[in-house]
Structure 1
Amino acid sequence: MAQFLHHHLNSRLSAQVWAQSITAPWPVRAPNHGFMLVADAVIVGVYLAFYSDRLIGGRCERFCNLGGWCVLPEYRLQSVRLLKAILAQEGYHFTDLSPSGNVIPINLRFHFHHLDTTLVAVPNLPWLSRRGRISSDPRDLERMTGADREVYRDHRRAPAAGHVVVSSGAESCYVVFRRDRPKNLPLFASLVHVSRPDVFRPMFRPFTGHLLTRYGIPATLVETRIAGHRPRASIPVRTARRKMFRSEYLRPEQIDYLYSELVCVPF
């Protein structure tokens, strides 16, 4: 499967990186890693899936995140069989956080809904913080408590996840980001998770400075639903990117981007 994805979906990622990315680093009893189309004992199509168990509203909810979907041209008429196989699994909420343009109408036919992906871009400048602390040191991240530390431990080996703890006084916020590559240019960080938007907001500028000085990333893409605010001096970004979910009863505000392809696959 990893060789197929390397050759036909994203050759920038080696087969070894694909193999590492396919297996989620968090503990979960996953029924599979997705589904394959096979013709004459040869893989001709793949649809990846990432599974997780999440505690939402005091109840354990099972998620299936749809990952990379790639089918050879001569077998494209069979593509939807892979999607149907994934959705036929009972008891899951489904997310698709990186659907391509032609996948979106297919998802809508299968009762997926859009999430709000209002997006802005912010230049990362060397801001310094005089009232808090920002760190990517694993020792500081391990000192987090409660849900933040649990989420960090689940994601610390995720290939596409970057980790930052933002502290202000006695309060702290755990931030997960990924490098984003529009037009294959690694110029942006995208926010995946912000545990405490109230703590994050006044520390946002120093946080972007940390991304610049620590990681060499010149700009940040911010979804306002993740950050909890629209940063000052931000530039609206028109984007065809969509994020979608399908659930019988969960609300959009209960859907996040953790435990997904976004943290596992450094595409």
Structure 2
Amino acid sequence: MTDTVWFITGAGGGLGYLLARDALAAGDKVVATSRSIEGLGESLSAAENSLLVLPLDVTDPRAAARAHDAAIAAFGRIDVLVNNAGRAQLGWFETIPQEDVRRQFEINLFGAMNVARAVLPTMRRQRSGLVVTISSVNGLVSNPGGSVYAASKFALEGWMEGLAEEIAPLGIRSLIVEPGMMRTNFLNPSTARQGDIDIADYAEPVSAFRAFIAQANGAQQNDPEALSALIVAEASSPSPARRLLFGADAHEWAGAKCRQLAAEIDASRTRA
């Protein structure tokens, strides 16, 4: 693609910021959106008329529509949508208030749907586009302390797998990205929430899990810079991957899950 226009959610930091930076460096145009945009335009080095910075709360469908309209007014088209905005709601399920569970889905699932609903009509008119969904290996594998977060990512991937088939005949492609643990601000206390209902039966594992998260924060093995470069390269490919696992941990966990599923499917044949 030439003169590619990116629309990126959650561009205020982490992978979203790196994608905006790298797309601009590649000579593309970028609509960088975030709940908070203070200083974002100044920190992204951009050629004149190549960057539009917009505030966007993805949980607000009307805000998504306004951001889309502003992007079209500025650049006339959207070639790559990156649904990156997200949050980690961690903790044992029973320790997480119901409103926090719903909030996790409002951001990670319904937020992505709101933005896609705003952007897809333009891609349909163009008969072209690429929808990049930043999921996680936890969209394939769940574990203690991550049940609610994984549930939102499982749902996100289920939606996108079906949507990808619906839009493919219209020339719109899909890429689901499933990183392992990344060195971003994702596990910072200001970003990742923990359940706050005290339940004695879970006290010991919850304490150990919180210690693990605190230790892992900032020391994750996977480099977001490398992932950003890979996604930008995939976006310019004539036949990008439909699913992109990133990181040795992601490949290990996903491979183990596939083997487990295969064994359980084989075992179920003797019970059917």
Shorter-normalised TM range: under 0.3
Which one scores higher on RCO, CA 8 angstroms, separation ≥ 6?
1
Q: TM-score, normalised by structure 1?
A: 0.26
Q: TM-score, normalised by structure 2?
A: 0.26
